[in-house]
Amino acid sequence: MRFGRVRTQRGDFYAELSGGRARLLAGAPYEAVSYTGEELAPEAFALLAPAMPQNIVAVGLNYLSHASELKMALPKEPLIFSKFTSSILDPGGVVVKPPQCERLDYEAELAFVVGKQCRNVPKEEAADYIFGYTCLNDVTARDLQNTDGQWARCKGFDTFCPFGPWIETELDPKNAHVRAILNGKTVQEGNTSDFIFDAYTLLAYISSFMTLEPGDVVTMGTPGGIGPMQPGDTVSVLIDGIGELKNTVGK
């Protein structure tokens, strides 16, 4: 099933999405789905980022191909950082290139959305705490990443976390094909079978040091092929079994 958030004339709602239509929910879908009885046609709503996380947890250097292109040793434990919730951008929104940034990069990623509050979850139980999966572009000010030496600013500007277009609850996170498309050309491609740490390992690891809440987003790293975007570009993250997250770049 696919769930998301939609903007309507009456306000913003969670919804089940099917056949281009939206069945509105009475609340968030994570632990119990309750419908309002309203169903909207495509022209009656716009898609928003499909979750409202308290935390956005990100994983660096999690594909063998990405480690290879950077000529870096494989991490022995997941490399964890965070993105600010103020960086969230809706599907179709405009990624803003900051004036401080000379090189703005795309990073196509598979992310999961937490379904239940969790702490100290064993890996073998991790699937029970994942609500579903979505596309995410971990937009990065690459030159600032190199000069700052840490990642809060380069990953945290407003508009640097587009994700969506919805949450897909039925997906094999160990075999998902991930692509970045820039102005109609495939520029990045990989499969999560190339992960160093899979989704279940990551949830167990992250929940060992922090409490994850329903709606929290964990984005699991990018394959090889990262590269720059320019104002005027259109960038998409496509994941087979989920769909396409498309955004434009402005300044």
Across 50-73, average pLDDT: 87
What pLDDT, on the 0 to 100 scale, is given for residue 92?
98
**pLDDT greater than 80 at residue 65:** no
**pLDDT greater than 80 at residue 67:** no
Domains defined along the chain, listed by start: 2-48 (2.30.30.370), 56-250 (3.90.850.10)
What pLDDT, on the 0 to 100 scale, is given for residue 128?
97
**pLDDT greater than 80 at residue 75:** yes
Bridge partners (DSSP) of residue 4 are: 15
The mean predicted confidence, pLDDT, of the chain is 96
Strand runs labelled E in the chain: 2-8, 11-18, 21-25, 35-40, 46-48, 56-60, 79-83, 88-89, 94-96, 104-106, 108-114, 130-137, 140-141, 161-168, 177-182, 185-191, 217-219, 227-229, 234-239, 243-250
Q: Phi and psi for 235 in degrees, rounded to 5?
A: -125, 135
User: What span, in angstroms and rounded, lies between the C-alpha atoms of 111 and 58?
Assistant: 9
Q: How does pLDDT run across 167-193, given as a tens digit for each residue? A: 999 999 999 999 999 999 999 999 999
- The pTM assigned to this predicted structure is 0.96
Task: Give the side-chain half-sphere CA count within 13 A for 3.
Answer: 25
What pLDDT, on the 0 to 100 scale, is given for residue 69?
77
Across 98-111, average pLDDT: 97
Query: 10: which 2 tokens?
Result: 């009456």
**pLDDT greater than 80 at residue 68:** no
